[in-house]
């Protein structure tokens, strides 16, 4: 599953892709745990993250783990963007934002998300 969490370059900047696409809840938890471990090892306010939820299945247990990780990762993450959130229940998405006190703009494509992550907005 190492290919699920990797750095990709866009406009000369490194973006951590967290690819949750097509995963079941138990697989999501494994990836989220690994992503959190990797992000925690990086400098404060340095990480750009792109999470892809396309065709993933998030249940209550996976949502709880995501919520915890998003809160713990907050000091290290400079900006986050999400794609594929159509399969993510809106109540989970709103809960993630509220609990972690972070914003997660959603985009239709990875390219759009990466453009936003690397912009000066």
Domain ranges of the chain: 2-117
CA angle 86, 92, 78 (to 5 degrees): 85
Q: Place domain 2-117 in its CATH homologous superfamily.
A: STAS domain (3.30.750.24)
The model's pLDDT over 38-97, given as tens digits with 9 standing for 90+, comes to 999 999 999 999 999 999 999 999 999 999 999 999 999 999 999 999 989 999 999 999
Here the tokens at position 113 are 């998300």
| C-beta of residue 8 within 8 angstroms of C-beta of residue 38 | no
Is the pLDDT confidence value at 2 over 90? no
C-alpha 55/C-alpha 66 separation (Å) is 16
The model's pLDDT over 3-34, given as tens digits with 9 standing for 90+, comes to 999 999 999 999 999 999 999 999 999 999 99
């Amino acid at each position: 599953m190492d290919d699920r969490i990797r750095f990709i370059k866009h406009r000369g900047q490194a973006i951590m892709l967290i690819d949750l696409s097509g995963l079941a809840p138990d697989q999501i938890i494994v990836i989220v745990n690994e992503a959190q471990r990797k992000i925690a090892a990086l400098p404060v306010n340095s990480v750009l993250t792109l999470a892809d939820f396309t065709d993933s299945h998030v249940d209550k247990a996976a949502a709880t783990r995501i919520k915890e990780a998003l809160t713990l990762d907050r000091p290290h993450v400079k900006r986050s963007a999400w794609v594929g959130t159509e399969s993510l229940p809106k109540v989970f998405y709103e809960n993630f934002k509220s609990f972690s006190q972070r914003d997660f703009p959603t985009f239709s494509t990875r390219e759009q998300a990466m453009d936003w992550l690397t912009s000066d907005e």
